[in-house]
Structure 1
Amino acid sequence: MGVTTVDEVRTELAELEDPKVRAVNERHGDDHGVKLGPLRAIAKRLGKRHELARELWATGDSAARLLAVLICRPKEFDQAELDAMLRAARTPKVQDWLVANVVRKSPHAEALRRCWHADPDSVVASAGWALTTDRIGRSPGGLDLPGLLDEIEQRMRDAPERLQWAMNGCLARIGIEHAEHRARAIDIGRRLGVLADYPTPPGCTSPYAPTWITEVVRRREHG
């Protein structure tokens, strides 16, 4: 018989808690000790269970919230709910999954992108920038790309870490996807120097925007 209640799910998540996993996650600002593979396996077994997802989210537990993101139906949340959920999602993994797996698939994604972009809370603003970055790659029509580059140029160097990362991702995406803005994007990245010294493992692409843009474009052009 499958798991059906929030208490049963939380018991199962508690049994998967690993102190070593928690220690690693805490170094990145997260606060759970459940490996993502087993978490996804639970989600696959449960299927889409929107009311259960709501109950799991309401617990405030990060592992439960990650599972909620995987089993909810994004289109069933209204705009106010999603706004409140993002503002309650204070750890990076929960925020990232919520934006990528729920908000992005919601009919309210564009309204929230506009609302969050200039929010005084830098964590909320980073979600707005993440949605903008997604649009640049999928449907950039109507976006003011030169204006975004102006804003990045003025604000990214001194932005809080989460917002800085989101702006940097937007800068790179503009340079990668839009050849007419590539030179300026690379120049901005070089002058600001954000993430220029970020340690990058062998075989991975640096998050430093000039390197990131150049490498992805090279791969696309030469295979």
Structure 2
Amino acid sequence: MSDTTVAQVLAELATLEDPKIRAVNEKHGDDHGVNLGHLRAVAKRLKTQQDLARELWATGDTTAKLLTTLICRPKAFERDELDAMLRSAGTPKVQDWLVNYVVKKNPHAEELRAAWFADPDPVVASAGWALTTERVAKQPAGLDLDGLLDVIEADMKDAPDRLQWAMNHCLAQIGIEHAEYRARALAIGERLEVLKDYPTPPNCTSPFAPIWITEMVRRKG
């Protein structure tokens, strides 16, 4: 499939469009209507194609951008290229996949984490927090966990949705992974009550940090 063109891919993606899926996704700020399992099947067939991936991103189409994250070579992007991609990601799902499938595997990930974390744009900052949460869990050495909790305590309650969600995830991760900070993380969550009333499906864990922390610690036994 190395001679596949952007036009061919876009035409195929258009045939996968489902209005019902789009209606559900739009409630979450995502403007696409393709079943993600079907999208992954397309990616599996296309395999890794870095040039095609870049061209698909440049179309600006949300589904094409999601496909980009599945067929690109994460380590092939330059720092500034990833920064520009994040700022043009648009929807939450595209940003999530870009951060998790591409940026985390790129050699510039830590540099971008630090830059995005301090960015005045709350959407960009949310990506910095997502990468920080990854480090809280896997590479906490060098992170100021007390300082992170200070920022969360001061800013999370009034943060815009995406940034608030990312900060809350970081709060929960600190409480789950670091027993010495667990009591403080629980106390912050209880006091701020962020996502306390979030509708949670049966058999799913609430994103309310005190419930989330307690449940995950219980599972770890």
Structure 2 length as normaliser, TM-score?
A: 0.98
Question: Which residue does the alignment assign to 1:83?
Answer: 83
Aligned-pair CA distance for 1:202: 1.3
Question: Which residue does the alignment assign to 1:147?
Answer: 147
Question: Which residue does the alignment assign to 1:25?
Answer: 25
Question: Which residue does the alignment assign to 2:163?
Answer: 163
Q: Which amino acid aligns with 1:156?
A: M
Secondary structure in 2 matching 1:197: coil
1-structure distance, mates of 2:109, 2:2: 33
Question: Within 5 A, what are the aligned runs for 1:80-119?
Answer: 80-119=80-119
2-structure distance, mates of 1:192, 1:73: 40
2-structure distance, mates of 1:64, 1:96: 15
Question: Which residue does the alignment assign to 2:135?
Answer: 135
2-structure distance, mates of 1:28, 1:144: 32
User: Contact 1:3–1:9 (CA<8 Å) still a contact in 2?
Assistant: no
Question: Which residue does the alignment assign to 1:36?
Answer: 36
Question: Which residue does the alignment assign to 1:122?
Answer: 122
1-structure distance, mates of 2:123, 2:210: 25
* Superposed CA offset, 1:119-143 (max 9, x none): 1110000000000000111111000
Structure 1 length as normaliser, TM-score?
A: 0.98
1-structure distance, mates of 2:105, 2:142: 19
Secondary structure in 2 matching 1:102: helix
Aligned-pair CA distance for 1:3: 6.7
Q: Which amino acid aligns with 2:200?
A: T
Question: Which residue does the alignment assign to 1:73?
Answer: 73
Q: Which amino acid aligns with 1:193?
A: E
User: Contact 1:3–1:46 (CA<8 Å) still a contact in 2?
Assistant: no
Question: Which residue does the alignment assign to 1:61?
Answer: 61
Aligned-pair CA distance for 1:201: 1.2
2-structure distance, mates of 1:21, 1:151: 37
* Superposed CA offset, 1:117-172 (max 9, x none): 02111000000000000011111100000000000000000000000000000000
User: Contact 2:2–2:49 (CA<8 Å) still a contact in 1?
Assistant: no
Secondary structure in 2 matching 1:129: helix
Secondary structure in 1 matching 2:218: helix
User: Contact 2:149–2:171 (CA<8 Å) still a contact in 1?
Assistant: yes
Aligned-pair CA distance for 1:2: 7.4
User: Contact 1:53–1:72 (CA<8 Å) still a contact in 2?
Assistant: yes
Question: Which residue does the alignment assign to 1:47?
Answer: 47
Secondary structure in 2 matching 1:142: coil
* Superposed CA offset, 1:13-54 (max 9, x none): 011111111111111101111110110000001111000000
Aligned-pair CA distance for 1:115: 0.1
Question: Which residue does the alignment assign to 1:9?
Answer: 9
* Superposed CA offset, 1:186-213 (max 9, x none): 0000000001111111111000000000
Aligned-pair CA distance for 1:4: 1.0
* Superposed CA offset, 1:59-118 (max 9, x none): 000000000100000110000000000000110000000000000110000000000002
Secondary structure in 1 matching 2:40: helix
Task: State how many pairs are aligned.
Answer: 221
Cα distance 1:2–1:50, how it changes in 2: closer, same or farther (>3 A)?
A: closer
Any gaps of 5 or more consecutive residues in structure 1? none
Any gaps of 5 or more consecutive residues in structure 2? none
